Amino acid sequence: MGSIPSAIWIAKIAKGKDFDIRNYGSKNAGLTNTFRVLGWKPALPVVFLDLLKGFFGPWIAMQLCETEADKAWVPLVAGLLVILGHSFTCFAGFRGGKGVLAALGVFLALCPFTALAAFGVWIVLTVSTKYVSVGIRFLPNMSL
């Protein structure tokens, strides 16, 4: 599920099958580059798809776990695999996005209140500095 390269596929739908978002802007297959190169309309489905795949990986794992011991680690592994699949997608030559939105989806499934608080801090930092990277650099320091 994590390997679905939503930014690449949405960019191809928006600009044609020969268009590769990784050849433009920051050369990254992620939301920020999609937004900068193509605008908010193609970026919006990227947001939803990346969040959903990040959320549903661990959520499905939680539903399939039968014991409390499994519920402690299986969803974490599923979330990690979604993020790795997103970052190294087999559908696009193992060159995917950075995994930030997929990771937010994972954290929303595992610890929703903490994830929403971290997202709120990211919004404040990004809006106040006008740099997405400032908000992203803060999040790994959060104790989720």
Per-residue pLDDT tens digits for 58-85: 999 999 999 999 988 999 999 999 999 9
The answer as to whether 43 is a domain residue is yes
pLDDT at position 144 is: 39
Place of tokens 């997405």: 132
The answer as to whether 142 is a domain residue is no
Q: What is the pTM assigned to this prediction?
A: 0.84
The answer as to whether 53 is a domain residue is yes
Sign of the Cα pseudo-torsion (70, 75, 78, 84, in order): negative
Token pair of 24, please? Answer: 């433009």
The answer as to whether 123 is a domain residue is no
**What residue numbers bound the domain in which 104 lies?**
6-110
The answer as to whether 51 is a domain residue is yes
33/40 Cα distance (integer angstroms): 11
The answer as to whether 132 is a domain residue is no
pLDDT at position 1 is: 86
The H or E element that residue 105 is part of is helix 100-110
Enumerate residues 6+ apart whose C-beta is below 8 A from 35: 43
The answer as to whether 52 is a domain residue is yes
Torsion of CA 63, 107, 25, 126, to 10 degrees: 150
CA angle, corner 100, sides to 96 and 103, nearest 5? 105
pLDDT along the chain (144 residues), means of 10: 92 94 92 92 95 96 93 94 94 88 95 93 86 64 44
How many structural domains comprise the chain?
1
